[in-house]
Amino acid sequence: MGNAYGTIIVSGDYEGNAEAIANALNSLNLHNDDVKFSAYGNHVTLDGYGVQRPTVFPKREILVLDDGRRHFADEADESIVKEWEAGKCLNDNEEYSLEQLSSLIAPLLTQGTIELVAVAYEKNKYAYYDRLVITCDGFVERYYNYAEADYPSEFCEDPIKPEYYYSRTKKCAA
């Protein structure tokens, strides 16, 4: 995908620690810009619009060392980072699993459901939207729709089978 621009909308009937939710979303690299999520009262919003390549399929950077060892960049200690930089080694990435997303966000919710919708388009090429739903008890649903300009008959919907993760390890607040 090239220069797709759009936004991420945060909605739902969720309640919880809005500041912690904003910080968690900021840690996920949900777009390619410096715009941050912030808490406004009891809700979270993206501080701006027109971000590049918004998504709810975030990836984590992996540092691959000369000897093949792999470390998540956000968890690597200073010695690993220096070894990686000195060796001109490779980097890779891995998509966050639904279980990882649930573990990060669901504990911050005291009740309800948070929904993130990323929408974007690149003029005369394609449009897409991604949707991520997380409930306070750990249920997660994520999917996307994508349409190319050359195939208008497929523009309405071309859904990908949703992925699901479900965990009832946490009771929501009453």
Task: Encode pLDDT of 100-144 as tens digits.
Answer: 899 999 999 999 999 999 999 888 888 888 889 999 988 888 887
For the chain, the three-class secondary structure string (H helix, E strand, C coil) is: CCCCEEEEEEEECCEECHHHHHHHHHCCCCCCCCCCEEEECCEEEECCCCEECCCCCCEEEEEECCCCCEEECCCCCHHHHHHHHHCCCEEEEEECCHHHHHHHHHHHEEECEEEEEEEEEECCCEEEEEEEEEECCCCEEEEEEEEECCCHHHCCCCCCCCEEECCCCCCCCC
Residue 29: HSE in the Cβ half-sphere, 13 Å Cα cutoff: 11
Rounded Cα gap, residues 92 and 168, in angstroms: 33
Report whether pLDDT(170) > 70: no
pLDDT tens string 16-33:
999 999 999 999 989 888
Range with lowest mean pLDDT among 3-17, 42-56, 80-94: 80-94
Locate 156 and state its tokens: 């309405």
- Torsion on CA atoms 13, 56, 128, 122, rounded to nearest 10: 120
Rounded Cα gap, residues 120 and 34, in angstroms: 17
Rounded Cα gap, residues 49 and 72, in angstroms: 29
For residue 123, the one-letter residue type is K
Contact in structure between 157 and 47 (CB atoms under 8 Å): no
pLDDT tens string 58-109:
887 777 877 877 777 777 788 877 877 787 666 667 788 888 899 999 999 9
Residue that wins the pLDDT comparison between 1 and 95: 95
